[in-house]
Amino acid sequence: MSWDSFVWFALAASLFWISGAIVSVISKRRLPAAVLTGCGSAIFMTFIVGVWISLGRPPLRTMGETRLWFSLFLSLIGLVVYLRWRYRWVLPFGCLMAVMFASINIFKPEIHTEELAPALRSPWFVPHVIVYMFSYAVMGIATILAIRILWLTRRSAAGSAPATGSTTPATVDATASPLSPSLQGDLRLCDTLVRMGWGFITMGIVMGALWAKQAWGDYWTWDPKETWAAATWLSYLLYMHLRQGSALSSVTSAGSEAIARQNSPAIEVASHSNKALHRTLFLLIFSFLLLQMCWWGVNYLPSAQGFSLHTY
């Protein structure tokens, strides 16, 4: 299978993905949308496997090749979130992003059929890149969630109707939180995805370090790509610690509330929490920008030109 046939596979997969997205919005049953999206992902996966076999190497070398995996994982994560947590709107978002990245590959493939460079012929190559692409997709969905929460809380604060939209029932004690129950569910999912994505980023970094030691004799050399990878990793780590801290704060607030409920102006507490939450969510968006810098931005960065082994 060659890259010439990519357009047909991409079109077929996109049709399924878009159909799945539409069905997920108009139908209350989850199975039809899941099957349609799954078919799209299967078609896309077939192409990836076919190219892998025909090239004789994993298609993970160029930007265009990594975008293939990104599209696939976006659709799959959207599907998992839809099925596991019943977030109906995540599926269309994930699928539309997958279609967008597949379209970029049609118009700007950035591919070639060269063999792998000797340094890339390592057992670490495939897991290293795949966990990274998976983390990018997970963090992409988490960022969309963060933007949604920010948008809805700001709209809510501006005096419009209380924000709703998620179908997830709220279970968290909201005594010290300014969020509506549905947005608390969104926030909880956001935290879960970030924790999962951070785990994948950590795995990617560690695998890269073990691979670098095997190939070049150093675990870490502060190559520009590594510097940005460390910045991304720390930025998400900061988000997780801030969220954990806010949970502890809310615990403290909730605990003291039983004693001093009447003395605590709830609106003030909520407003303070809201600001802190907004800052944390902006940090999440900033972290995603860092992630983009790490993925492809570093290729265009003047400071990386001539200093990075990873620019391609």
Partner 1 sequence: MVVAGHTFGLLAALLYVCLLVVIYVLRDRWPLFRHLAGRKACLTSISIVLFLLLVFGLVPQDGGRDGFFGVLGFRNMSRSPIFILALLLLATSVTLNTIEDIHRFSKHRLGVTCAHLGLSVILIAGLFGSGGTVRTVMIAMPNVPDHQARNEVTYEYVKLPFELTLRDFSVYEYSSEVTLTLPDGRSSEIKIAVNHPAKVGSWWIYQSDYLSDTERGEFASIFKCVCSPLSEVFRIALWLLLVSAAAMVFFAGFKPSFGKKGPLSVKLQDGAAPLGCETFNEKEERL
Which range of residues in 100-108, 150-158, 201-209, 262-270 is near partner 1 by CB under 8 A?
201-209
Q: Is 207 a residue that touches partner 1 (CB under 8 A)? A: yes
Give residue 159's region: left, alpha or beta (phi > 0; psi -120 to 50).
left
- Tokens for 12? 């077929």
Nearest alpha-carbon partner for 21 in 84, 73, 85, 99: 99
Which range of residues in 53-61, 62-70, 147-155, 206-214 is near partner 1 by CB under 8 A?
206-214
Helix then strand then coil, % of the chain, to nearest 5? 75, 0, 25
DSSP letter assigned to residue 87:
-
Q: Is 206 a residue that touches partner 1 (CB under 8 A)? A: yes
Q: Is 293 a residue that touches partner 1 (CB under 8 A)? A: yes
Which range of residues in 67-75, 148-156, 224-232, 269-277 is near partner 1 by CB under 8 A?
224-232
Q: Is 250 a residue that touches partner 1 (CB under 8 A)? A: yes
Please select the residue that binds partner 1; options are 255, 271, 279, 312, rule is CB under 8 A: 255
Please select the residue that binds partner 1; options are 1, 83, 285, 301, rule is CB under 8 A: 301
For CA atoms 176, 180, 181, 182, the dihedral sign is: negative
Q: Enumerate residues 180-199 that contact partner 1 by CB under 8 A.
A: 187-188, 191-193, 195-196, 198-199
- Total interface residues for partner 1 by CB under 8 A: 67
The helix (H) or strand (E) run that includes residue 228 is helix 224-260
What is the SS3 assignment for 60? coil
Secondary structure E strands in the chain? none
For CA atoms 9, 14, 17, 19, the dihedral sign is: negative
Closest distance to partner 1 from the beta carbon of 237 (Å): 6
Q: Given the rule CB under 8 A, which residues bind partner 1?
A: 84, 118-119, 121-122, 171-173, 187-188, 191-193, 195-196, 198-200, 202-203, 206-207, 209-211, 213-220, 222, 224, 227-228, 230-231, 234-235, 237-238, 241-252, 254-259, 293, 298, 301-303, 307
